[in-house]
Structure 1
Amino acid sequence: MTQYVKDMRKLIGTKPLLLCGASVIIFDTQDRVLMLHRSDNDTWCFPGGAMDLGEKAEETAKREVYEETGLIINDLELFGVFSGEELHYIYPHGDEVYIVDVVYKARQYKGHVEIDNESKAFGFFDLSNLPQKISPPVIPIINTLLKQTNEIK
């Protein structure tokens, strides 16, 4: 959680907060996607997180990937911007957010995955065999990814 979010939570408690962030769909050489098993809600997601004040979305994406996985990403390609009711979420501890997620794709990375304490596990998954328990704000992103993948075939 960024310092900005912590400061805002002191002011508004668990009330809805508009939260801007970025995430990255990382593909390996076998076209599998990297997903993280979240510690807070026991679901799977792509690496990503909240934007710091004054930070560019691309910087957020690269920083969050590095913090959560230890990977260095350089080849970001904009996948889409996701927002609205589908990205409304209430965390298990009660914080309510409306997320604006700038999502990128990446196919080149350096390093080996080493997860931080935000995740319990990680895996590279075929799009046809994704984990069952997906974090609710990630579902629209996955649906769009699957739709685009099927249109290309």
Structure 2
Amino acid sequence: MSRIEHFNDPNAPKANSIVVATTAFVLDPDNRVLLIRRTDNGLWALPGGAQDLGEFVAEAAVRETKEEAGIDVEVTGLVGIYTNPNHVVEYSNGEVRQQFSICFRAKPVGGELRVSDESSEVRWTRRTDLDTLGIHPSMRLRIDHGYENRSQPYIG
């Protein structure tokens, strides 16, 4: 299924759903962030996805990171909660989802980098290389907030 991100676009379709989703901001010992290249839109992103029924929201971040990137993580904190109603994701099946994403801070505890059905590339990326990658502005905001290591999580 393909997806189109609409961000502050007055011509964007109206949202018809909202789903709790997570992302994981994971740094390795060299201060490189874990990124995946999404197969549904070709953009680079933090690993993450929707929370499943019966699952704690932090467990979703751990599961999605393992599924999409092959890395086992432990959640250590909260980067922020991202709920901008002017950011909607349009899916090829007709769903138009309003953003609702909780970005967790996590540390790697095992695993090996590997791709999945949802990731065509996976890598540890230096902060100085971020500007060379195709990253959606809302995802870049989460990455920047993660690197800022704020004393309070972002809420917006």
In the superposition, the TM-score normalised over structure 1's length comes to: 0.77
1:82 aligns with 2:113: no
Q: CA deviation at 1:40?
A: 0.8
Unmatched 5+ residue regions in structure 1?
Answer: 2-13
Residues 50 and 75 (structure 1), Cα distance of their counterparts in 2 relative to 1, 3 Å cut: closer
Q: CA deviation at 1:75?
A: 4.0
Question: If each structure's strand is expressed as a fraction of its own residues, which one has the higher value?
Answer: 2
Which residue in 2 is equivalent to 1:60?
A: 60
**8 A contact 2:66–2:72 mirrored in 1:** yes
SS in 2 for 1:107: strand
Residues 78 and 149 (structure 1), Cα distance of their counterparts in 2 relative to 1, 3 Å cut: closer
> Structure 1: how far apart are the matches of 2:71 and 2:133?
25
Where do 1:16-95 residues align within 5 Å? 16-85=16-85, 87-91=87-91, 94-95=94-95
The percentage of counterpart residues that share the same residue type is 26
Unmatched 5+ residue regions in structure 2?
Answer: 2-13, 151-156
In the superposition, the TM-score normalised over structure 2's length comes to: 0.76
Which residue in 2 is equivalent to 1:142?
A: 143
Q: Which moved more, 1:85-94 or 1:134-143?
A: 85-94
Please give the root-mean-square deviation of Cα atoms over the aligned residues, in Å.
Answer: 2.6
Q: How many residue pairs get matched?
A: 138
**8 A contact 2:71–2:108 mirrored in 1:** no
**8 A contact 1:62–1:73 mirrored in 2:** yes
Which amino acid counterpart does residue 40 of structure 1 have in structure 2?
D
Question: If each structure's helix is expressed as a fraction of its own residues, which one has the higher value?
Answer: 1
Q: Deviations over 1:7-31 (max 9, x none)?
A: xxxxxxx962101111101111110
